[in-house]
C-alpha cells in the first residue's frame, strides 16, 4: 500500500472520540496560540496587502478574516495563514521544522466555518493536519530545509489532510487531495537574503492550496497516487536524503501534536536558545555590560544557514540575525514582540554589543540536531572572567515547556487589537472548543474588525 493510502486510512480512522483528553486539551492551546499570532500579524503591512488582494478578487462571503470581514473559503485560508506567520511567535515542531498552526489551522477554520461544523470537528482536523505534516517533514529533514521552507512545503499536506477530514472524503479522494497538495508544495528560502515578504505568502498559499486540493478531490479531480515516494515525487525531487518510514512509524498510535513547541521570543526559533541564555544571565547577575569583551555563540549549522547576519538593516531582518538577537536579549533582558522595533534596531548599546558576537558551528551540537536545538554561549569579560552557559532546549520545547497560563497571557497580549472583552470571549470559546456547536460563533468576533 502506498504512503498516501496509508495516510488516507489514518485520516478516516481518526475521530474525536478516539483522541485522548490530554491531546484535545493541548490542541486547544495550539489553536489559541494561532489566534494570538494571527491577530497580532493582521495589522502588519504585508498582511494588509494580502487582505486587499482578497477583497479586490471578490468571492462568496463563506469564511471570516482575522483582518475583518468575510471572503471565499480559499481566500480566507490565504489571508489568515499569512497573518499568523509575520510576528514570529507561531508554534514550532523541532524534528520537522514546521510551524503547523499557521497552515493547518487557517485551512481548517475556513472550511469548518463554511460548512457550519463544530469545535470537535475542528479539533479532530487540526490533530490530523499536524500529524500528517510533521511526519512528512521529519521524513525529509534536515536536507530539505536548506532550500525549502518546510512550513510551506510539508504544511500543504497537513492543510489538505485537515480539509479532507472536514469534508469527509473517502480514501481515493484523500489520496487525490494529497497528490494535488504535493504538486503545489513550494516555498524557497531565498527570501531570507533580502527580507522579502514571501515568508507571509508561504503559509497563506499552503493553507489555500490545502483547501483547493480537498475541494477539487471532492469533485473527482485526480492527483498523483504516490506523490510522496514516487520516482518523480516529493521526496526525490526535494530532499537529498529522506526516510519514508517516518511517515508511517507508529501512525495512529501516537499524536505528534503533543511534540509541538511554543515561542516566547518574537524572532526565528533558531535564535531562541541563545536569547534564553542571555536573558538568564541578565536575571541571575548584576553583570555590567561594559565588562563584556566578546560573546561566542556555538550552535548547529542550520541555525547559521538561516540566521548568520551580522548587520541586519530592517526590523524584520533583525529577527533572523543570531548576532542581533543575542545582543538584544542581553542588553534589554527580553525578546518579546514589543522589544523588536525600529528604535532598538539602531540602539547604540545593542549595536555595540552585536559587534562583539561571534557565531560558529559546534560539531557535537550539530550532530544532535534536529532532535536537540542546542547552543553553547561563552561570554568573555574584561576582568579575565569567562561565563559559559549551555542549553539543548529553548524555552517552549516540550522538554522546557511553557505553562497554560503563560500561553493564555501570551494570547491576551498579542491580541490587543481586540478589546479585553473580545479577547477574553475568544479565549473562553477556544478553551471550551469541544462544546462549540458551530465554528462561526468563534469567528464572529472578527466580522467588524479592520
Nearest 5°: the CA angle 255, 408, 339 is: 110
Same domain, 134 and 38: yes
Same domain, 276 and 413: no
Same domain, 121 and 33: yes
Nearest to 72 by CA among 236, 243, 276, 215: 215
Residue 334 lies in a domain: yes
Same domain, 297 and 240: no
Residue 398 lies in a domain: no
Nearest to 336 by CA among 402, 390, 387: 402
Same domain, 229 and 275: no
Residue 36 lies in a domain: yes
Domain final residue pick, 391, 411, 426: 391
Nearest to 296 by CA among 380, 366, 358, 382: 358
Same domain, 70 and 153: yes
- Give, in order, the Cα–Cα distances in Å from 182 to each of 177, 179, 185, 207, 230: 9, 5, 5, 13, 11
In sequence order, what E strands does 219-351 have?
292-299
Same domain, 339 and 229: no
* Count of domains forming the chain: 2
Q: What is the CATH number for 369? A: 3.30.1330.120
Give the containing element (helix H, strand E) for 125.
Answer: helix 119-140
**Cis upstream peptide for 358 (omega within 30°):** no
C-alpha 131/C-alpha 106 separation (Å) is 16
Query: What's the pTM?
Result: 0.95
Same domain, 209 and 335: no
Nearest to 106 by CA among 58, 145, 158, 69: 158
Residue 124 lies in a domain: yes
Q: What is the CATH number for 199? A: 1.10.4100.10
Same domain, 321 and 430: no
- Give, in order, the Cα–Cα distances in Å from 48 to each of 37, 214, 317, 423: 15, 27, 20, 21
Nearest to 303 by CA among 273, 261, 337: 273
Neighbouring residues of 405: CB distance < 8 A, sequence distance ≥ 6 = none
Provide the CB-side half-sphere exposure for 120 (13 A, CA). 11
Helix residue spans in 290-403 (DSSP H): 301-307, 315-318, 322-332, 342-345, 348-354, 363-367
pLDDT tens digit sequence for 227-271: 999 999 999 999 999 999 999 999 999 999 999 999 999 999 999
Residue 243 lies in a domain: yes
Residue 396 lies in a domain: no
| Phi, psi angle pair for 297, to nearest 5° | -110, 115
Same domain, 236 and 132: yes
Structural domain span for residue 441? 3-264+403-446
Local confidence pLDDT in tens for the 450 residues of the chain = 899 999 999 999 999 999 999 999 999 999 999 999 999 999 999 999 999 999 999 999 999 999 999 999 999 999 999 999 999 999 999 999 999 999 999 999 999 999 999 999 999 999 999 999 999 999 999 999 999 999 999 999 999 999 999 999 999 999 999 999 999 999 999 998 888 999 999 999 999 999 999 999 999 999 999 999 999 999 999 999 999 999 999 999 999 999 999 999 999 999 999 999 999 999 888 888 999 999 999 999 999 999 999 999 999 899 999 999 999 999 999 999 999 999 999 999 999 999 999 999 999 999 999 889 999 999 999 999 999 999 999 999 999 999 999 999 999 999 999 999 999 999 999 999 999 999 999 999 997 654
Residue 57 lies in a domain: yes
| Phi, psi angle pair for 305, to nearest 5° | -55, -35
Same domain, 340 and 385: yes
Residue 340 lies in a domain: yes
Give the containing element (helix H, strand E) for 357.
Answer: strand 357-361
Same domain, 318 and 424: no
Domain final residue pick, 347, 366, 391: 391
| Phi, psi angle pair for 388, to nearest 5° | -120, 130
pLDDT tens digit sequence for 399-432: 999 999 999 999 999 999 999 999 999 999 999 9
Amino acid at each position: 500500500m502506498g504512503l498516501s493510502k496509508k495516510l488516507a486510512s489514518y485520516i478516516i480512522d481518526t475521530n474525536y472520540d478516539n483522541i485522548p483528553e490530554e491531546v484535545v486539551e493541548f490542541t486547544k492551546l495550539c489553536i489559541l496560540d494561532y489566534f494570538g499570532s494571527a491577530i497580532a500579524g493582521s495589522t502588519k503591512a504585508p498582511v494588509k496587502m494580502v487582505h486587499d488582494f482578497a477583497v479586490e478578487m471578490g468571492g462568496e462571503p463563506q469564511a471570516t478574516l482575522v483582518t475583518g470581514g468575510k471572503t471565499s473559503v480559499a481566500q480566507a485560508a490565504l489571508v489568515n495563514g499569512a497573518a499568523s506567520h509575520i510576528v514570529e511567535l507561531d508554534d514550532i515542531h523541532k524534528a520537522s521544522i514546521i510551524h503547523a498552526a499557521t497552515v493547518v489551522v487557517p485551512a481548517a477554520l475556513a472550511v469548518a466555518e463554511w460548512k457550519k461544523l463544530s469545535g470537535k470537528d475542528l479539533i479532530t482536523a487540526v490533530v490530523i493536519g499536524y500529524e500528517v505534516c510533521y511526519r512528512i517533514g521529519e521524513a525529509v529533514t534536515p536536507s530539505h530545509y536548506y532550500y525549502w521552507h518546510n512550513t510551506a512545503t510539508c504544511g500543504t499536506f497537513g492543510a489538505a489532510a485537515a480539509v479532507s477530514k472536514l469534508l469527509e472524503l473517502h480514501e481515493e479522494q484523500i489520496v487525490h487531495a494529497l497528490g494535488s497538495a504535493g504538486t503545489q508544495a513550494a516555498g524557497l528560502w531565498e527570501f531570507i537574503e533580502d527580507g522579502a515578504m514571501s515568508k507571509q505568502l508561504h503559509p497563506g498559499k499552503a493553507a489555500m492550496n490545502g483547501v483547493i486540493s480537498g475541494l477539487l478531490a471532492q469533485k473527482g479531480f485526480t492527483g498523483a497516487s504516490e506523490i510522496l515516494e514516487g520516482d518523480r515525487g516529493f521526496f526525490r525531487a526535494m530532499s537529498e536524503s529522506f526516510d519514508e518510514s517516518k511517515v508511517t512509524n507508529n501512525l495512529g498510535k501516537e499524536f505528534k501534536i503533543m511534540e509541538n513547541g511554543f515561542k516566547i521570543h518574537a524572532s526565528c526559533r533558531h535564535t531562541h536558545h541563545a536569547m534564553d541564555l542571555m536573558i538568564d544571565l541578565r536575571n541571575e547577575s548584576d553583570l555590567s555590560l561594559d565588562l563584556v569583551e566578546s560573546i561566542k555563540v556555538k550552535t548547529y549549522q542550520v541555525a547559521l544557514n538561516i540566521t548568520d547576519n551580522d548587520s541586519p538593516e530592517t526590523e524584520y531582518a533583525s529577527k533572523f540575525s543570531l548576532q542581533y538577537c543575542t545582543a538584544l536579549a542581553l542588553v534589554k533582558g527580553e525578546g518579546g514582540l514589543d522589544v523588536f522595533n525600529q528604535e532598538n534596531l539602531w540602539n547604540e548599546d545593542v549595536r555595540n554589543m552585536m559587534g562583539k558576537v561571534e557565531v560558529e558551528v559546534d560539531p557535537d551540537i550539530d550532530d544532535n540536531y534536529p532532535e536537540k536545538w542546542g547552543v553553547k554561549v561563552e561570554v568573555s569579560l574584561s576582568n579575565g572572567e569567562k561565563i559559559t552557559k549551555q542549553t539543548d532546549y529553548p524555552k517552549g520545547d516540550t522538554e522546557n515547556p511553557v505553562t497554560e497560563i503563560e500561553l493564555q497571557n501570551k494570547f491576551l497580549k498579542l491580541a490587543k487589537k481586540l478589546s479585553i472583552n473580545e479577547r477574553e470571549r475568544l479565549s473562553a470559546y477556544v478553551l471550551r472548543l469541544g462544546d462549540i456547536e458551530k465554528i462561526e460563533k468563534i469567528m464572529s468576533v472578527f466580522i467588524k474588525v479592520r
